[in-house]
């Protein structure tokens, strides 16, 4: 299939081939071409250039009428496969209970695990697909999805099978993460559950791309995390880690030591974590949706960038701490609450988030040869307006693998 998009007001997010992440001052740069055309062939970005040299159309033509073209968002951290709803906990939270207090009363992750256990695999797929469609309609073209509401072998594998089915059903790029160590499953002691997670690894590795551990106060220790990451590595799974959401957990250091692709959350972080991350392959990933929803500090994004690091932003879409997968809202929180510039936030929700889920060679920028996951905005939009007018509809078309996606 051939597509030529003409009269593009500006293409944003142009990145040379081979650049897979942005760090430090590079976070403030993005390639822009004004008054442009762009060609798509066989689902891939073929080339682009100024309207003055527009090629002859060889297939379909779309007139962007001055709208902007940008890469679709990449969301490298979500928990969108879950059952039911936890709105009761939302009320508890409004009435003053903290995330930890809700979890200690048997709510939180264990509540989702109970709901998931009672839900059939087909129902779980259907419920989760509603959210995935909503995310694609909001502009996400690559989504990482974690297990972690099973907390026993049978239910964890059920989740991983549902993620695989989603991957086979949608045009977005999907990656799957085994988060067996999200909380200690009912019927287990802490130690016996860590043993169980290690035992599950070979089967999980047949379905998942990554392994993750909730390394935080009251959940899993850095020692648990290292053991689980090593078991993952032995089965070919690179790591991603939840760290420093509730306390300085040592999870960042553990993640870097094990070559984790990303360390995520980082609300309680400072110079110690920056030093640990310097020179590492690991992408610091911040989740402002959960800071907003839980009323906890926002991760210190600015100081990470000033220290020369890159950062990614992701939604953390889940029923307990961030019930939204709207990456444009995440970009707005990045600007409004973390003081990122729109270009920094844009790089964080596109290329760097693609890197954090191991797909930056496929998506996350306008680069010839990458998958044509593209947003075409309405006329008059630019990168600053997207987070500024943060709830005004801005998407006119979304192409996922070059076919028009309709939510």
> What is the contact surface with ligand NIG in residues (CB under 6 A)?
79, 108-109, 112, 214, 242, 245, 290, 316, 318-321
- Give me the residue whose beta carbon is nearest to Fe ion: 316
Name which of 320 and 342 has its Cβ closer to ligand NIG. Answer: 320
Name which of 140 and 249 has its Cβ closer to ligand NIG. Answer: 249
Name which of 26 and 155 has its Cβ closer to Fe ion. Answer: 155
Q: Is 144 in the site for Fe ion (CB under 5 A)?
A: no
Contact region with Fe ion (CB under 5 A), list: 33-41, 191-199, 311-319, 356-364: 311-319
| Min separation Cβ 140 and Fe ion, Å | 16
Name which of 10 and 316 has its Cβ closer to Fe ion. Answer: 316
| Min separation Cβ 62 and ligand NIG, Å | 38
Name which of 26 and 245 has its Cβ closer to Fe ion. Answer: 245
- Taking CB within 5 to 8 Å according to partner kind, which of Fe ion, ligand NIG, none is near residue 320? ligand NIG
Q: How many CA atoms lie within 13 A of 59 on its CB side?
A: 11
Name which of 28 and 85 has its Cβ closer to ligand NIG. Answer: 85
Name which of 85 and 120 has its Cβ closer to ligand NIG. Answer: 85
Contact region with Fe ion (CB under 5 A), list: 150-158, 165-173, 308-316, 359-367: 308-316
Instruction: Give dist(CA 225, CA 211) in Å, integer.
Output: 10
| Min separation Cβ 288 and Fe ion, Å | 13
Name which of 318 and 367 has its Cβ closer to ligand NIG. Answer: 318
Q: How many CA atoms lie within 13 A of 114 on its CB side?
A: 9
Do residues 144 and 76 make contact, with C-beta atoms less than 8 angstroms apart? yes
| Among the listed residues 260, 316, 348, 374, the single contact to Fe ion using CB under 5 A | 316
Least Cα distance to 32 among 300, 383, 287 occurs for 383
Residues 6+ apart with CB under 8 A from 104: 218
Name which of 77 and 370 has its Cβ closer to ligand NIG. Answer: 77
Name the token pair of 161: 């099978």
- Taking CB within 5 to 8 Å according to partner kind, which of Fe ion, ligand NIG, none is near residue 21? none
Instruction: Give dist(CA 364, CA 331) in Å, integer.
Output: 15
Looking at the chain, the number of H-run helices and the number of E-run strands are 15, 16
**Residue 122: count of CB within 10 angstroms of its CB:** 10
Instruction: Give dist(CA 65, CA 73) in Å, integer.
Output: 22
**DSSP 8-state assignment for residue 215:** E
What DSSP string runs through 331-370?
HHHHHHTT---HHHHHHHHTHHHHHHTT-TTTSSSB-TTS
Instruction: Give dist(CA 322, CA 146) in Å, integer.
Output: 14
Pairing of strands 60-63, 2-14: parallel
| Min separation Cβ 306 and Fe ion, Å | 26
| Min separation Cβ 265 and Fe ion, Å | 7
| Min separation Cβ 285 and Fe ion, Å | 10
| Min separation Cβ 232 and Fe ion, Å | 17
**DSSP 8-state assignment for residue 268:** S
Residues 6+ apart with CB under 8 A from 52: 35
| Min separation Cβ 244 and ligand NIG, Å | 11
- CA 365, 389, 35, 59 dihedral sign is positive
| Min separation Cβ 78 and ligand NIG, Å | 9
Name which of 10 and 216 has its Cβ closer to ligand NIG. Answer: 216
Residues 6+ apart with CB under 8 A from 241: 212, 213, 215, 225, 229, 251, 252, 254, 255, 260, 262, 263, 264
Q: List, in sequence order, the alpha helices (H) in 258-326.
A: 271-277, 288-294, 301-306
- Give me the residue whose beta carbon is nearest to ligand NIG: 320
- Taking CB within 5 to 8 Å according to partner kind, which of ligand NIG, Fe ion, none is near residue 321? ligand NIG
| Min separation Cβ 361 and ligand NIG, Å | 26
Binding site for Fe ion (CB under 5 A): 316
């Amino acid at each position: 299939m051939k597509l030529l998009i003409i009269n593009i007001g500006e293409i944003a997010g142009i990145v040379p081939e081979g650049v897979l992440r942005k760090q430090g001052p590079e976070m403030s740069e993005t390639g822009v071409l004004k008054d442009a055309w762009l060609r798509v062939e066989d689902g891939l970005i073929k080339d682009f250039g100024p309207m003055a040299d527009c090629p002859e159309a060889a297939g379909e033509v779309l007139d962007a009428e001055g709208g902007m073209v940008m890469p679709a968002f990449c969301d490298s951290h979500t928990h969108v496969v879950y059952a039911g709803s936890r709105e009761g906990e939302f009320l508890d939270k409004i009435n003053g209970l903290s995330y930890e207090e809700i979890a200690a009363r048997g709510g939180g992750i264990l509540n989702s695990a109970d709901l998931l256990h009672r839900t059939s695999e087909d129902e779980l797929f259907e419920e989760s697909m509603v959210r995935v469609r909503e995310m694609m309609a909001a502009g996400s073209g690559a989504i990482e999805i974690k297990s972690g509401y099973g907390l026993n072998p049978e239910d964890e594998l059920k989740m991983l099978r549902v993620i695989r089915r989603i991957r086979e059903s949608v045009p977005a790029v999907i990656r799957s993460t085994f988060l067996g160590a999200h909380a200690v499953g009912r019927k287990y002691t802490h130690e016996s559950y860590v043993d169980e997670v290690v035992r599950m690894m070979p089967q999980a590795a047949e379905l998942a791309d990554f392994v993750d551990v909730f390394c935080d106060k009251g959940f899993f220790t850095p020692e648990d995390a290292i053991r689980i990451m090593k078991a993952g590595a032995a089965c070919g799974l690179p790591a991603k880690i939840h760290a420093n959401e509730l306390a300085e957990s040592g999870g960042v250091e553990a993640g870097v030591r094990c070559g984790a692709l990303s360390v995520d959350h980082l609300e309680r972080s400072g110079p110690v974590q920056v030093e640990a991350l310097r020179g590492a392959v690991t992408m610091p990933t911040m989740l402002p949706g959960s800071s907003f929803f839980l009323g906890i500090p926002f991760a210190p994004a600015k100081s990470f960038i000033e220290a020369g690091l890159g950062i990614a932003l992701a939604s953390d879409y889940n029923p307990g701490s961030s019930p939204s997968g709207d990456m444009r809202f995440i970009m707005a929180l990045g600007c409004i609450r973390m003081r990122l510039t729109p270009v920094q936030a844009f790089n964080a929700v596109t290329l760097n988030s693609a890197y954090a889920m191991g797909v930056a060679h496929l998506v996350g920028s306008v680069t010839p040869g990458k998958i044509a996951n593209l947003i075409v905005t309405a006329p008059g939009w630019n990168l600053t307006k997207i987070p500024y007018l943060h709830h005004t509809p801005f998407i006119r078309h979304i192409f996922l693998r070059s076919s028009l996606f309709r939510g």
